Amino acid sequence: MRFSHFVNEANTGSPVRLAIVHPEGALFLDEILDDAPETLQQLIERGDDELQRVRSHSHVAVSQGVELTPVAGLRHASAVLRTPQIIAIGLNYSAHSSELNLKADKAPTVFALWPNSLTGHNGTTTWPRALSEAIDYEAELGVIIGKAAKNVSEADALDYVFGYTVVNDITARDIQYSEAQWSRCKSFDGFTPTGPSVVTKDEVPDPQNLKISTVLDGHLMQDSSTGMMIRSVATLISYLSRSATLLPGTLISTGSPGGAGYSRDPQVFLRDRSTVTVSVEGLGELTTHCRMT
């Protein structure tokens, strides 16, 4: 199943509406369920029984020919909302750590992203030119935790996953290299687009066998596979769960492959009116429009 948040243009009740996305269009949960979850976070927190209720009612509605809403006429919000934690992993592909001249240490590089950075597919991210003109893209596989994970083994780690999404970990490189932490340089408003959907884990049999890419203004910039990760999704979940409980709905952004704009000669950065699309095989394409003020 594929879940997306769409902006509630009617502006009544919740600011977003949660839908299951089918090839033919969106099926809004509040149209088929009593006491429907308003967000994916709420759905995850209600547990497996709620997911099964949603799955069952969706199947019945589609089989009965319920009218779906064309996605092309809808506006996406972030695929992940109100998450308890956003954990990012740096230097998880050898090619990326090498091009940035940063060492991939024996332990993962872990940092937090701020919730204000979340935004949706096909949105516009704006930043002040005075703060940075060295804004870079990073295609990443996002992992959404489905149930509390504490001290889990690598063998069991994927059992704790709810689903996967596409993340663009947008980064102000000059700030990244001037500060001892990486949270601020990656947490400007709108610097963490996610989506367009969260795809449940049953549709992703192997998260380490997915093509991942970035296209900037029509040019292919990143082209790799999640199989090139230094540490797999299962390894990261197990490692992180040793020190802190990974709460349901936690988003883990698992690192970016090589091909960053910072490392190119000449360097290539996101500019005013750039359009960047990051993709992960089977999960979709996530597009961001850029504005510098």
Q: What is the pLDDT of residues 109-137, one digit of tens each?
A: 999 999 999 999 999 999 999 999 999 99
Does pLDDT of 247 surpass 90? Answer: yes
Q: How many CB atoms lie within 10 A of CB 121?
A: 26
First to last CA, the chain: 39
Q: Which of 164, 188, 165, 162 is nearest to 175 (CA)?
A: 188
Task: Grade residue 96 by pLDDT with cuts at 50, 70 and 90.
Answer: low
Structure confidence by residue, pLDDT tens digits, 145-186: 999 999 999 999 999 999 999 999 999 999 999 999 999 999
Whether residue 98 has pLDDT greater than 80? no
Helix (H, G, I), strand (E, B) or coil at 13: coil
Joined tokens for residue 71 = 């996605």
Q: For the whole model, what pTM was predicted?
A: 0.95
CA atoms within 13 A on the CB side of 210: 29
pLDDT > 90? residue 12? no
Contact 167, 192 (CB under 8 A): yes
Tokens of 7: 């902006």
Q: Please report the pLDDT score of residue 260 as a whole number.
A: 93
Report which of residues 131 and 11 the model is more confident about. 131
Extract long-range pairs of 240-245: CB within 8 Å, 24+ residues apart: 240/87, 240/110, 241/149, 241/150, 241/151, 241/152, 241/157, 241/160, 242/151, 245/148, 245/149, 245/150
For the stretch 54-71, pLDDT in tens is 999 999 999 999 999 999
Coil, strand or helix at 8: coil
Residue 207 pLDDT:
98
Return d(Cα 246, Cα 110) in angstroms, integer.
14
Exposure class string for 64-97: b at 16+ Cβ within 10 A, else e: eeeebbebeebebbbbbbebebbbbbbbbbebbb
The SS3 call for residue 192 is: strand
Mean pLDDT of 195-217: 98
Burial of residue 233 (number of CB atoms within 10 Å: 0-12, 13-18, 19+): buried
Q: Six-digit token pair at 269? A: 């950065």
